[in-house]
Chain A
Amino acid sequence: MHAARTETPARDFETRARTDARHDRIFHGALKSCALLVLAALLGAALSMLWGGREVLFQHGFHFLTSSSWNPVTDDYGALAPVFGTLVTSLIALVLAVPLSFGIALFLTEIAPVWMRGPVGTAIELLAGIPSIIYGMWGLFIFVPFMARIEPALSSTLGQIPLIGKLFEGPPLGLGILTAGIVLAVMILPFISSVMREVFQTVPKRLKESAYALGSTTREVVWDIVLPYTRSAVIGGIFLGLGRALGETMAVTFVLGNSDNITSSLLMPGTSISSSIANEFNEAVGTHRSALIALGFLLFVVTFIVLLIARLMLRQLARREGN
């Protein structure tokens, strides 16, 4: 089975170039079809949601988008409260998790002694491996009572500030929008910090060393060298976390309080798109089921809009910097 090579070097070179070109085409085709598969997966999922929710979306579309009522008995559905809850809890999660993740990534790449980086980094990544139902149970049995003890202090301090105070009113139930936001923050922490750490490590050492040689402090190196170099990937990591926060279900369901009301206080119970689906899907039939699937579709739309805004802001930023 061992064929002897008899071709002349020139022909050998030519065939090699041709096979290379063919392999490249095959490779390109394989990659592209995989990428298109991702496209198909999303479009398929979105279309099947659109189809499943058609009854509510096409017959009561406007009412569905603008109403805040949610009544399975009279089959009257509005998406305002869940959409509001999803956006606010995700926003709180991001506000808390982004600086924390940044701090952790910074610690793991620049500050910690080398022996400590591996173990601590793995530990933080472990937060991502805890099943979301366990976040829910921990939240329900441990964190909610904990928050119930803290909330009176929040109400009596932050709650006294004019304007912001409105956010911290209400009885100390422990559960609610703020609690859900904090639990979400812990859940998305590993996603954002892992990506940040990974990309911080890709910054060429000579860039950083040149800056250090010029007398920069660690903070300045990170702020002026590392961050600009890795900005797009850092934003990517944040999107990764945001994506998880927007769609997270079980953990939120256990600590959010699940009340279909829109309130100004973060200490009050609320609801979210994914927790509404998780709560009611199993028992829902007919129009109710259609409304829940329509909510699922709406989450695609909400995500789309949120990402679009983020992207536009990024482009604006890039333009201002003249890149």
Chain B
Amino acid sequence: MNVRFPHKLQLFALATALALGLGTAHATDVTGAGSSFVYPVISKWSAAYAEKTGNHINYQSIGSGGGIAQIKAGTVDFGASDKPLDQATLAKFGLGQFPDVIGGIVPVLNVNGIPAGKLVLDGKTLAGIFLGKITRWNDPGIAALNPGMKLPDQKITVVHRSDGSGTTYNFTHYLSQVSPAWKSRAGVGTAVNWPAGIGGKGNEGVSAYVKQIRNSIGYVEYAYALQNHIGYAMMKNAAGNVVSPNTASFQAAAATADWKHARNFELLITNAPGTRAWPITATSWVIMYKQPRNLEHTRVVMDFFKWAYNHGQADARSLDYVPLPDSLVKQIEQYWQTQYKM
């Protein structure tokens, strides 16, 4: 009798320990959630980082809004968002934020007679199309930007995102900067009241609709345009130059953005001033508590991103993202030292 009881207790303790996952070998389990835009690259980094350090960075793409909500609720160790938090919110919750990666958004189209990658648009025209003001492909506004191109006399079908997304946020932010009409009619948001068109769920939905519907135009993240082989448009940027979307022009936008004066990195780099800058370039941010519940976890998150800034560049490029410029990485490391008393 005396022997049996402790034995049972031991078994129970062992079972509990197993159930709680205490028996496993790896070092630290850290959880992040948010933006689907950065999901591919963080997944790739996380696998490589786990191999190197044994620490598990479990990142789930539940949307930027979801990421912000979860970090506020303290159910995850870090959030990731394509839309920066404003100063008041950061201060109120004691949160800090810093960029993790940069990427581009491109207008994609499917029009008979317009070769892929040849059409030139500018901000005003793009806004006019998405406002439903420019309704035909041979509109004089489009023709003026494309002298010598034979434009079909066809009705434009606009395709936008139906789900709330950081991509839409950055896209509408760009349109609002270049078109007062867009700003007053639709505005900036992860979801807006679209003046025209049909909505596809996710980048995938928009890509599929643009491919299926003749004479349509939409916008997707750069990687989707490449993978789905959809024709994209070139853009006239803020400096007045026509640029193609590619990592070089995204990089140019990132480099010319004025990060130095952006408190808590609250800066959108759409319509960047650089001569070769792609105008619809987007950043994603990591959001963490400055005084976290679990110091150890926050330390691992920082170590992870430090590792990623230095060793994850090839992975980022292979997935069509742009790694952060060195000057920005230095600024982030300074930010950690001053803002996070670890």
State the A residues within 8 Å of B (CB): 69-74, 136, 140-141, 144-145, 148, 171, 173-175, 253-254, 257-260, 269, 271, 275, 278-285, 288-289
Known contacts A74-B187, A259-B194, A259-B198, then 19 further A-B pairs from the complex at CB < 8 Å, ordered by chain A residue: A72-B164, A72-B189, A73-B192, A140-B204, A140-B205, A173-B198, A173-B213, A174-B212, A174-B213, A259-B199, A269-B199, A279-B199, A281-B63, A283-B63, A283-B163, A283-B164, A284-B65, A284-B164, A284-B190
- Measured between beta carbons, the chain B residues less than 8 angstroms from A284 are 65, 164, 190-191
A275 to B164, CA, bound (A): 12
- Measured between beta carbons, the chain B residues less than 8 angstroms from A278 are 163, 201
Ordered by A's residue number, 27 sampled pairs between the chains whose C-beta atoms are within 8 Å are A71-B192, A72-B164, A72-B189, A73-B192, A136-B201, A148-B212, A173-B157, A173-B198, A173-B213, A253-B201, A254-B205, A260-B193, A269-B199, A279-B162, A279-B163, A282-B62, A282-B63, A282-B64, A282-B66, A282-B164, A283-B63, A283-B66, A283-B164, A283-B166, A283-B191, A284-B164, A285-B65
Q: Chain B: which residue is nearest A144 at the CB level?
A: B212
Q: Residue B191 contacts which of A72, A140, A175, A257 (CB distance < 8 angstroms)?
A: A72
- Measured between beta carbons, the chain B residues less than 8 angstroms from A283 are 63-66, 163-166, 190-191
Q: Chain A: which residue is nearest B34 at the CB level?
A: A282
State the B residues within 8 Å of A (CB): 62-66, 68-69, 157, 162-166, 186-194, 197-201, 204-205, 208-209, 212-213
Q: Chain B: which residue is nearest A175 at the CB level?
A: B198
Q: Residue B193 contacts which of A71, A275, A279 (CB distance < 8 angstroms)?
A: A71
The answer to whether B201 touches A73 (Cβ under 8 A) is no
- Measured between beta carbons, the chain A residues less than 8 angstroms from B65 are 281-285, 289
The answer to whether B198 touches A257 (Cβ under 8 A) is yes
The answer to whether B193 touches A141 (Cβ under 8 A) is no
A144 to B211, CA, bound (A): 12
Q: Residue B201 contacts which of A174, A260, A279 (CB distance < 8 angstroms)?
A: A279
Q: How far is the CB of A113 from chain B (nearest CB, A)?
A: 42
A259 to B198, CA, bound (A): 6
- Measured between beta carbons, the chain A residues less than 8 angstroms from B201 are 136, 253-254, 258, 278-279
- Measured between beta carbons, the chain A residues less than 8 angstroms from B208 are 140-141, 144
Question: Lowest 9 A-B CB distances belong to which pairs?
Answer: A282-B63, A283-B164, A258-B162, A258-B199, A283-B65, A71-B193, A73-B187, A283-B190, A279-B163
A144 to B213, CA, bound (A): 10
- Measured between beta carbons, the chain B residues less than 8 angstroms from A148 are 212-213
A288 to B163, CA, bound (A): 13
- Measured between beta carbons, the chain A residues less than 8 angstroms from B163 are 278-280, 282-283
- Measured between beta carbons, the chain A residues less than 8 angstroms from B64 are 282-283
- Measured between beta carbons, the chain A residues less than 8 angstroms from B192 are 71-73
The answer to whether A258 touches B200 (Cβ under 8 A) is yes
- Measured between beta carbons, the chain A residues less than 8 angstroms from B188 are 73
A254 to B203, CA, bound (A): 12
- Measured between beta carbons, the chain A residues less than 8 angstroms from B165 are 283
- Measured between beta carbons, the chain B residues less than 8 angstroms from A259 are 194, 197-199
Q: Residue B198 contacts which of A74, A254, A269 (CB distance < 8 angstroms)?
A: A269
A288 to B192, CA, bound (A): 11
A254 to B208, CA, bound (A): 10
Q: How far is the CB of B130 from chain A (nearest CB, A)?
A: 14
A225 to B69, CA, bound (A): 57
A45 to B20, CA, bound (A): 29
- Measured between beta carbons, the chain A residues less than 8 angstroms from B62 are 282
A175 to B216, CA, bound (A): 14
Q: How far is the CB of A280 from chain B (nearest CB, A)?
A: 5
Q: Chain B: which residue is nearest A173 at the CB level?
A: B213
A257 to B196, CA, bound (A): 12
The answer to whether A257 touches B212 (Cβ under 8 A) is no
Which residue, of A69, A148, A285, has the highest number of chain B Cβ atoms within 10 A? A285
A257 to B63, CA, bound (A): 21
A108 to B36, CA, bound (A): 46
Q: How far is the CB of A53 from chain B (nearest CB, A)?
A: 16
The answer to whether B209 touches A175 (Cβ under 8 A) is yes
A49 to B170, CA, bound (A): 31
A69 to B209, CA, bound (A): 24
Q: Chain B: which residue is nearest A282 at the CB level?
A: B63
The answer to whether B212 touches A280 (Cβ under 8 A) is no
Q: Residue A73 contacts which of B63, B157, B186, B197 (CB distance < 8 angstroms)?
A: B186
Q: Chain B: which residue is nearest A254 at the CB level?
A: B201
- Measured between beta carbons, the chain B residues less than 8 angstroms from A253 are 162, 201
Q: How far is the CB of A133 from chain B (nearest CB, A)?
A: 10
The answer to whether B66 touches A69 (Cβ under 8 A) is no
A278 to B62, CA, bound (A): 11
- Measured between beta carbons, the chain B residues less than 8 angstroms from A73 are 186-189, 192-193
Q: How far is the CB of A138 from chain B (nearest CB, A)?
A: 12
Q: Residue A279 contacts which of B164, B204, B213 (CB distance < 8 angstroms)?
A: B164
Q: How far is the CB of A177 from chain B (nearest CB, A)?
A: 12
- Measured between beta carbons, the chain B residues less than 8 angstroms from A71 are 192-193
- Measured between beta carbons, the chain A residues less than 8 angstroms from B63 are 281-283
